Amino acid sequence: MFADAQESQEENENEKWGFDLYPERRGAKYKPSLTKIALLGEGREQTDKIKCEKNVWYCAQSSPLVKLMLSALKSSGCEVDLERHVSCEVCDVTVSGGYDSELNQIVVCQNTARSEGLTQGVMTHELIHMFDYCRNKLDFKNIDHLACTEIRAANLAHCSFVSAVAQGDALPWKVAKAHQECVRTKAMYSVITTRNVSKEEAGAAVDRVFPRCYNDLEPIGRRIRRNSLDMHKAYKERFIYGYD
């Protein structure tokens, strides 16, 4: 009975930390229902996995941001082995990727991050988490630590004026702060997804660490604007931080 109770408690903790969004974590096997196969076209997991792995390899070879992050991790003593540290898996449809700090492994969701562009976004975002874990020894169960790395990932990998418009943060009277509001919104909802906490709790954590974490641009060194050469400039400037 005690063992059953302990197992139940561990399952609840795993759900609290978002592991339920990644059913293949910890050795589980995803099995689509007949309904999903018929209506949603599922049942081709192995084909999707191969395509996902090809996209990961392509990004590692061709994406300036992904190459920069891999270089920064290597220079920091945390070299990435794609086969060991990146896993393509079936995920809940609400997420496109994740970082498992316990296994030091990035998850790319093969059923939602289907294109090279989406894979690049997931890889960059999650590599920032991996970098923070490597360099700063983050405790992902500390909500302030989690909020900080989510702020940095949103700041460096996601938010542009277009993103801010899509999220409703770039109203005419908020243009000057549109990027910051986009980062706050993205980080807050990432914390909610990961920790299963209220919007108020997540927002408070983001607010507590926002100024310091928003201004920390390492290792990319700049905020990336959409449809610009910023990615290429950041990669060329990597030597400023001592990265190969």
pLDDT of 66:
95
Task: Judge contact between 138 and 101, C-beta under 8 A.
Answer: yes
pLDDT of 53:
96
Strand residue runs (E) in 101-219? 105-109
Residue pointed to by tokens 């974590």: 25
126 is catalytic: yes
pLDDT of 36:
54
The torsion angle over the Cα atoms of residues 19, 20, 24 and 30, rounded to 10 degrees, is 180
pLDDT of 200:
96
Residue pointed to by tokens 């191969």: 50
| pLDDT per residue of the chain (244 residues) written in tens, 0 to 9 | 433 433 444 444 444 555 578 777 766 665 655 555 545 555 578 899 999 999 999 999 999 999 999 999 999 999 999 999 999 999 888 889 999 988 999 999 999 999 998 999 999 999 999 999 998 888 988 999 999 999 999 999 888 644 444 444 444 445 447 889 989 999 999 999 888 899 999 999 999 999 999 999 999 998 887 777 888 898 998 888 788 7
Task: Judge contact between 63 and 120, C-beta under 8 A.
Answer: yes
129: number of Cβ within 10 Å: 23
Given the residues 42, 45, 53, 126, select the one marked as catalytic: 126
SS3 assignment for 81-93: CHHHHEEEECCCC
